[in-house]
Structure 1
Amino acid sequence: MRRTIDPYVYLLASRRNGTLYVGVTSNLMQRVAQHREGTFGGFTAQHGVKALVWFEQHATMENAILREKQMKKWRRSWKIDLIEETNPDWKDLAIGLGFLPLD
C-alpha cells in the first residue's frame, strides 16, 4: 500500500511574537505531535517552539519544499505578517486539529 503524502509548510511559535520555526512535512498531524512531545528534537525542542500558528497545504512535496526554502530567507516581520493575516490572535491551530491545549 502506498503512503499518502500531504505536503504542508508550517510555522510554529513559542508564544505570540516569540521564537518562530518554519518547517515542511508530508504528514502535518504526525509532525505537530512530534514537536509538541519534543521527540523531533533540535531547535524546536531546545527553544520550546510548539504552537502551530500557520500552515499551508501544497499539491506536491517539491512545491512545499520550495516554499519552505523561500520562507526561511524571509525577514521575521514578513513571517509575522503572514501569521497575522489569518491568525491575528496567534491561536494554537493544532487545537482545531484535535490536539489538547499546551500547558
Structure 2
Amino acid sequence: KSKGYEFVDTDPQLNYPDALDEYRKEMDENGWEYGEDDEELFELAMHDRQYRDYKSGVAKKRFEEELQHAKDAAMAKNGYSEEEIKKLKRAKADPVIAPDNGQVLWE
C-alpha cells in the first residue's frame, strides 16, 4: 500500500478484451488456415506483426538480406574488398547468351 498498489482478486483476463473474432475475420479474409487446435490463430493473436510478416514473405526477405549482409561483413573482415566479394558471389553464375537481339517477352 505504501507504493500505491492494491491487491485485487478479480480475473486478470478481464483487463484484456477478447479479440479472437477480429483475428478470425482477418484470417478468413486472407485465406489463412487456423491450424490444428487454432494454433495459427493464437500465433496471430500473440505476435500479430511478426505473423503478418511471415505470411507475406517480408520476414524471409528481411532474413536473407540480413544473412547476406553478415556474410559480406565477415568476408570484408577477412580482408576481401567489395570487388572481390562481388566476383566470388558471381563465380557460380552462368551467363545467359541470347542468340538474337531484341526484346524478351516473358509469360
TM-score interval (norm. to shorter): under 0.3
Greater C-alpha Rg: 2
What TM-score do you get using the length of structure 1 for normalisation?
A: 0.25
Task: Report 1 or 2 for greater relative contact order, CA contacts < 8 Å, sequence distance ≥ 6.
Answer: 1
What TM-score do you get using the length of structure 2 for normalisation?
A: 0.24
Q: Would you tell me which structure has more helix in proportion to its own residues?
A: 2
